[in-house]
Structure 1
């Protein structure tokens, strides 16, 4: 017969006593107003506070968003990390912080779509609500896309890191920019050239930062797909979530046929971005995690089509 073990129980103070033990005190008599219109509004104090501020707002705000894509899945819900800000002149003590997240929730109830049309509307409306001449919105999120193995056709989900940014200025209009960061495979041309057989390869990360024309409409041309293709089509090989042996053989051979230095990668991707008419300037950065070194290899290139100047 199993015997139930019993343990001696310590007699604890009740919950109210425990709270007092750890520092809780009784509420004091409250004398300050509870109605909003009677409360002090320090943020709206008008005086000379010495300096204009470039930006004031909130960051690291996480919120669900909906993303449309030309690639499958066409509609996806993901988590966006937001940054909201506006400038502030020296005659204002502070901004109305609650209005940033209040408007975010308002857009969420209507179904917040993370495309430039929605973000432009949000940013202009935010400037009006804050009674400022400008506002900035930036949102970063993982974008998922289906990737099928080249031989077996077995599919799975890859993802890239995406950032969208909109700056609204009452006198100048909108400035649109974005970035996309994705992993690729590169095979070392030098290793291939000097070795009797084989060559070392590595996983690289390509990051593209781009600025768009004022009239760019991403509901017509999906910039995410375009930038993804610019990175992956110029790599030694793409990454895949699911691979069988025939797939692995095909990709390994493809990488061997398309060797790439990190310098090659940024130049080839830059050429694709240069040919995209909706992009006015760009920066391409690549970091390879070297498989035969302790260090990484890096390269970057910037180009401004409006100034025609390599940097």
Structure 2
């Protein structure tokens, strides 16, 4: 009798006995209450717990969201990665973690369009749900936009990584920071200068974090498109999903005509962000994935417009 025939004739114990074989035990007596009103609530204990806590909450929460965009596609469904939090005082033991996800589900059932005004409302309501004077939310997501070849006009989808962070405080109001990482092409000025022909180029990653002014109007300005333009317009060339040969000729020639070091990129992008009226403060980083080295080249700068008035 072969192994297949032996397996067909194997007599297995029933599922309950199999579970016992692998460690399951009979449930013990249940003595603690099952009604919520009768259960101990340790997190709501009130004593002197030594220190205030700046932030407590949950992170790495993935959830479907809808993103509005002024670039095509104007409405897109994507996955958001959330974190939520609030402070707690020295007299409170902890926070109620389930209230964060309860709030998220409430907004999801209404159709969660992630824009700044919605997130402001979310944080203010979340603070009330937590019985705290402040709360915060951060959501990161891939934002897609259509990009056409410069000659063929053939379209495809590019994306950038976007983040919105909203802090709410009952006394001071809202603080909103947005971040975008876009990809660009850079061509090395030094390589172009010293070589008889050609020059090495590489993909660069430009990360811009911007504190928005209080009067920022999302209906007028799409911050995602504005930050993307600040990165791409100062690059050696833009990244394209579809390039036919005439497109490729145009893009590579454009890169050769606009060589950029990482230092050049951060300064040029900073100049654009400085001129944006809706930007209060910003940071810029360019990280090049070097094509002739194993290391990355990186440069960064920070600037606060308020410092000019001091």
TM-score w.r.t. the length of structure 2 is 0.97
In structure 1, list runs of 5 or more residues that go unmatched.
Answer: none
Secondary structure of 2:256's partner?
A: helix
**2:279 match:** 279
Indicate conservation of the 8 Å contact 1:206/1:287, yes or no: yes
Cα deviation code 1:117-143 (max 9, x no counterpart): 000000000001101111010000000
TM-score w.r.t. the length of structure 1 is 0.96
**1:170 match:** 170
Verify: 1:141 aligned to 2:141, yes or no: yes
Cα deviation code 1:35-91 (max 9, x no counterpart): 111111111111111111010110000001100000000000100000100000111
Cα deviation, residue 195, structure 1: 1.2
Cα deviation, residue 182, structure 1: 1.1
Verify: 1:188 aligned to 2:188, yes or no: yes
Alignment partners' CA distance in 2, 1:57 and 1:217? 29
Secondary structure of 1:161's partner?
A: strand
Cα deviation code 1:163-195 (max 9, x no counterpart): 000000111000010100011000011111111
**1:231 match:** 231
Indicate conservation of the 8 Å contact 1:116/1:217, yes or no: no
**2:101 match:** 101
Cα RMSD of the aligned pairs, angstroms, is: 1.1
Alignment partners' CA distance in 2, 1:92 and 1:54? 12
Structural mapping, 1:282-293, within 5 Å: 282-293=282-293
**2:64 match:** 64
Verify: 1:74 aligned to 2:74, yes or no: yes
Runs (4+) of structure 1 moved beyond 2 Å? Answer: none
Cα deviation, residue 29, structure 1: 1.5
Cα deviation code 1:252-271 (max 9, x no counterpart): 00100111011000000000
In structure 2, list runs of 5 or more residues that go unmatched.
Answer: none
Residues paired across the two proteins, number: 305
